[in-house]
Every structure is written in C-alpha cells, then in structure tokens.
Structure 1
C-alpha cells in the first residue's frame, strides 16, 4: 500500500460521523442512567408464577392425582370400624343414631315388660289351677263324707243305747240323729249303716230299720264332730238321753279323739235332676 492510500484511509476513519460510533457498554453506564425495563429477582419470580401457565399435561396429572387420593380416602373410610365412623360422623347423624338407639331400647323394654307380664300370668294361672285342683279334691272329699261314699275319721263320740225291754222305737233314734246333726255332726254311722241326708228310719217288728236295713240293739252311734258340742246336745234336759232313759233304755256317751266311720253308701244317680252349670 502506498503512502497515498494509507493517508486516505486515516482520513476516511477520521471523517466518520458521530452517529455511527458504538454505544457505551453496560459497565460504562452510570447509576442514574438504568432503563425502566430492568426488574428485580422477586418481581421476575412473581411474574413467572402468576398468572399460572397450566399446560394440558399438568392438568391431566392433577386430575389423576385427585382421583387416586379420593379412592384412597374412600377405601380407608370403608375399612374403619364403627367407632371411627362415629368419630367422623356429623352432629346431626349422631343425634339421629342416638334417637334410633333410644327407640330400640324402649321397644326392647316394652317387650321385656310384656314377657314378664305373660310369665306372671302363667305363674298365677298355674297357681290358681293348682289351688283350684286342691280345692276341688277337698270339696270332693267333703261331699263324699256327707254323701257317705268315702270313709271318714276324726274326733267325736260314741253313743250306745241298750234296749233290754224292746221299747226303743225308730222315732226315738231319729230324734237322736237330728239332735246330733244340729250339734254339728259331720258323719254318722249306726250299727254299720251310714246315715246320710236322705236316711230314713222305720219300725220293723221288734226292731228298727235304717234305710231298709234292719238293725238290732244295742244301737251304737259313731259320730264325728266336736265332742264338746255333741255330748252336751244329747244330755240337755228333756233331750235324747232323758227320753231314752224314760223307756228304760241305758245310754252311754263316750268322747274320743279318733272315731272311724267306715260304712259306705253307693253313689246314687238322680233320675231327673241334672246340673244347671254350663
């Protein structure tokens, strides 16, 4: 290159306009010359997070995670025991459960009372039936004694009438029976013949017949009842003993703590009378 070219080159660089010179570097800028577009680190972080930029892939992953969590929660809840379920129940549900338990408890209590009442009725019914059976047996025995169909024993007296003159008649012995009944005699037997409500006495020649059965002296009365009442009833003034003694009969009355009346009568079935009970 000639001296002329180098001279022209220096001249060309020297004549370049100021507008095309290179801008100053950032290091050469003064503090007062910072541009408004520059941001701090916190501002850039906030600007990067909001508004959120959700992609389709992120949305799908979030939905999958939500479904997985919900399934796990349902599984845990279904496997938890009753106490855990009650602990997680709402107040309204707990109140409803308590009301249902109270209602069920009341129903069970009512059922218990009903069963206890039935048991009491059965027990009372059983006792009443047993008592009725006992009363029936006792009543049957009593009626049997009065009807002469069963034997009887108990305290009472024995009256013996010796008629050596043969002057004792049926009506005298009937008066003795009536006096004994009035004094409370419960069972009477004369010479092996049971005396009952329908008993009748008649004269049969030199003897006496009781219900058609002839009996001979001595006439022996076996009577069950209270001795303290029976003996005085026979010995009252103008009574049985004095009447028999006027006929020259000998009468002895002895008290006893045990009198056995074992003569029996066959039960008679009435021809016309029937029970009116239904």
Structure 2
C-alpha cells in the first residue's frame, strides 16, 4: 500500500487524536450501557480485590495455587482498568476523542496485561499438573523461590516485546480516517487506519500472537490432557470428583479467554469483522475478569471458608 500524501494541517489533526466510536451505533442505550459497565467494573474491583486480600491474609491459603490466584486477581484489576475507565468516560460524556499518546499508552498496557495473563494461566496449569500428576514432589518442585520466578517471568517477559510492538505500530503514518470502531485502542483496528505498508506489522502481530496466545494455550491443553489421564486412573470416585472440581474452574477461564483472543488476533481481519471483534473483545477484556472470581469462589471450598472468616471479622 502506497503512502498517501495529505495536507500538513489535516495530517497534524489526524496524528494528534483518534475517535473511539465504541457503542455510538446504539445512541439510545448509552446511559444503560454506562450503568451496566459501571456495575461490572465495581464487581470486578470488589471481587478480585477480595480474593487478593483473603489469599494474602488467611494462613490456610498460603499454598502455591493461591499465590498464583492472588497474582491473577491483581492482574485482572490492572487489565480492566486499562480499558473500562476510558470507556465509561466516553459513554458518560459522549466525548470519544483519545489523543495519539493516550491511545498508544492504552494499547501498550492492554498488550502487556493481556500477555501476562496468557503466561500466568499457563503457569497455573503447570502448578495443577505438578500437584495432581506428581503430588509427592509438589512441595519440592513448586517451592517459594520457583513460584516467585514463575510469576516474575510472567509479569516481565512480555514488557519489552509489547513496548516494541506499540512503538512500531504508532511509528506508521496515519493519513486516513481517524475513527476507531472499538471501545479501546486495539492493534487490528489501528493498523487499518495506517496508510503505509502494514504487511510487516501484520506478520509481527501473528508471530507475537502465536508466542503469547497459542503457545501458552497449547501448553495448558497439554497439562490438562496429562491431568485428565491421571485422574481417570484414580481408583476413588471421590478423588476423581475432587481433582476435576479443582481444575474445571481454571479450564473454564482458559476456554473463555483464549477462545475469544485466538479468534480476534489469529484470523484474517476484514472491515466486516470489526463488529465481531468488538463483541469478542468484551469476553476477554471485561466478561472473563468479572466471571473469574465467581468461578474460583463458587468452585473452591477453601476460598469460601476464608471469605466467611473475613466477613465474620
């Protein structure tokens, strides 16, 4: 695609800001959506915050599984806070302008937190694999130092990659429309607005998506295939039920999060797919963080007991 020259004034305007259309196509539902997403945001903050607190405060929840769960809950708060406050502001004020710098910053944080979540879910699957398939060596394999290293790696390994991707994308010339048919700055939509040759950037999107989405997803599937094969060999039906109960919540999160992310980032993008991308992004960026605490709390007796202790205090 050839670079299209624009008058300097128009170029400056295009480069300084974008317009996040969000849900502008349904103007009669703006305040309803504002109230709905505000309630969802409050639920996410309170539920994930509560799980983070009880896993830190309750002595019975000091195992590696709950250490990872605490980090996961904190990550979910960071993840939704990168998109939801701006979306609520746009719905409430109807001012959908976002500056180029703010758009790049939002994209960078969304990518970093999203990549961290993919890696952390893989780490949590590995933790369950060791706990169920190698229980005698579990305390040795998943010692405190290893847990710290795994979490630190999940949080930091994607930072330079995502900063580099954001810088590369926003180094492109933007000389077409400045309207983004989304509620946050996402890579596929931004690339559609670039007027330069985006082939290299699109290939890098696929490569990074494979590394941070498909590879962790396949590792998770591998871990759970081993877990299921071991669980099916257990002589006790009660043991099988307990093992499946422990892992089913994690697997539910994985299907919701990775399924929608894979469809969004690893399929060919067309202009007709913008509405689909927007709906799919609701799953991995908003709905999954809301359901995660409910899934873990309702399926985990230890968390329920710790929550009751906290409420009694």
- Which is higher, the Rg of structure 1 or of structure 2? 1
Structure with higher helix content = 2
Determine which structure has greater relative contact order: mean sequence separation of CA pairs < 8 Å that are 6+ residues apart, divided by chain length. 2
Tell me the TM-score normalized by structure 1. Answer: 0.22
Structure with higher strand content = 1
